[in-house]
Amino acid sequence: MNRRRFLASVPALAGAWRAGAAAQRPNILLCIADDWAWPHASIYGDPVVRTPTFDRIARQGVLFTNAFCAAPSCTPSRAAILTGQAPHRLAEGGNLWGFLPARFPVYTDLLEEAGYFVGFTRKGWGPGDFKAGGRRRNPAGNDFKNFAEFLRAAPPDRPFCFWFGSHDPHRPYEPDSGLKAGMRPEAVRVPPCWPDAPEVRRDILDYYFEVQRFDREVGELLAMLEKAGRLENTLVVVTGDNGWPFPRAKANLYDGGTHVPLAVSWPGRVPSGRTLEDFVNLADLAPTFLEAAGLKPLPEMTGRSLMGLLTQREKPGTRTEVFLERERHANVRRGDLSYPVRAIRTREYLYIRNFRPDRWPAGDPELYHSVGPFGDCDDSPTKRYILERRSDPKFARYFELCFAKRPAEELYDLRKDPDQIVNVAGRPEYAEIQRKLRARLEQWMKETGDPRATTDDDRWDRYPYFGPPAKKG
């Protein structure tokens, strides 16, 4: 939709802005961690990590227990947040290290044209080349050195929209930073897809250290807002763009890659102290922000505004499913090949459709272009521990779970197997539920215009990749 047509479609809002009434619209502060997974916050019950700022936002507003990213990869996840659309609708925007074509409107531009002062710091949309998509700036807005600089520039009579894009807890980590901070490795819960080894526990602590640093910095932003007298009318959202950077997590459609923390507050408008179990997607944020600002979400947005849930206009418990996807993450397969996957997640089941099961899900076993062997999994002590012992029968199952090829269909019974370890696809007792979930996933793909539902032509393999090659030697 043309942006001017978008503004013309809401003349009442434009008139309110001219009259100065737009000052009543909320400021919007999105704080997004880089690779932060659920349930790694103290309010979710994690026994080690401490997140007092996130917990504060959750207590002052709404804590979501079933929030998921649209794709477990930085660039497409952030593109979905900005556009409110499923990544498969965004052409080149569905890949890591690509670009987001300018024909796809983003909420930041729409809010700016409606009178908002818009900016971001650190990691906005990306990684990728926004200029290759025909954009003059990062889709997250105007780039500022930090939030303090942005606040000084923000006109006091206009609402603002700010994207705080932390680089935490993205790798690399300072070895033993978590241990030195006083965290206890014996308190860590090691997921059953990884060996329970001291190296793995310390690796998790280093991740926790950066989660806590992100939380502390969000607290500093809130303190600045409070001092400036602008916190009371600010819609605050704290979340992560995808799951944690460990094997079988980030870049995978299991919960470790897609299930993310989410807390939202807006004093006076969003009733406090509530926990919602509805299934929501981070693509829902763009229509949420537009509706909060008095604008109508664009018809092409597949995300659904959360304002009804936040303000209690919508009955909780009605959002019972979420759809997940991925295409090319890093360029780690000979021929620049993607690893296309779609999935549906409900309270009881996770159904996954692997479209190219002949390909390696974590990338080729040998270095192709980026990262390294099995390069869709970030280098880490945990990854190295598993790969170095892959031929040892005691550790072979961890390699199979994290790096081996997968069947065309996977199904996990979350009531019996919350860690999603045992694939029950193909078992007679699950045949009917597998059929129903497959059909529902296919229906969603067709309804949202997913090319995999019609042509399945591997177009994502041919889109440009702007990521750096791996350093050799």
Q: Is residue 331 part of a domain?
A: yes
User: Considering 277, 305, 333, which residue would you say is the last residue of a domain?
Assistant: 305
For the domain that residue 153 is a member of, what is the CATH number?
3.40.720.10
8 A C-beta contact, residue 104 and residue 133: no
Instruction: Tell me what pLDDT residue 446 has.
Output: 98
> What does 390-453 look like in DSSP terms, one character per residue?
TTSTTTHHHHHHHTS---SEEEEETTT-TT--S--TT-GGGHHHHHHHHHHHHHHHHHTT-GGG
Instruction: Tell me what pLDDT residue 14 has.
Output: 40
**Residue 23 and residue 104 share a domain:** yes
**Residue 47 and residue 152 share a domain:** yes
**Residue 239 and residue 209 share a domain:** yes
The whole-angstrom separation of Cα 321 and Cα 281 is 10
Q: Is residue 206 part of a domain?
A: yes
Q: Is residue 79 part of a domain?
A: yes
Cis peptide before 127 (omega within 30 of 0): yes
Give the structural domain span for 82.
3-305
**Residue 249 and residue 373 share a domain:** no
Instruction: Tell me what pLDDT residue 473 has.
Output: 57
**Residue 54 and residue 167 share a domain:** yes
Instruction: Tell me what pLDDT residue 2 has.
Output: 47
Q: Is residue 75 part of a domain?
A: yes
Q: How do strand 27-33 and strand 160-165 relate by DSSP bridges?
A: parallel
Instruction: Tell me what pLDDT residue 471 has.
Output: 82
Q: Is residue 471 part of a domain?
A: no
Write out residues in the chain with pLDDT < 70, as ranges: 1-23, 472-473
Q: Is residue 22 part of a domain?
A: yes
Instruction: Tell me what pLDDT residue 263 has.
Output: 98
Instruction: Tell me what pLDDT residue 325 has.
Output: 98
Q: Is residue 374 part of a domain?
A: yes
Per the structure, the count of domains in the chain is 2
The whole-angstrom separation of Cα 115 and Cα 179 is 47
**Residue 252 and residue 178 share a domain:** yes
8 A C-beta contact, residue 34 and residue 167: yes
Q: Is residue 277 part of a domain?
A: yes
Q: Which of 277, 348, 354, 357 is nearest to 317 (CA)?
A: 277
**Residue 145 and residue 40 share a domain:** yes
The residues near 186 (Cβ < 8 Å, ≥ 6 apart) are: 201
**Residue 180 and residue 221 share a domain:** yes
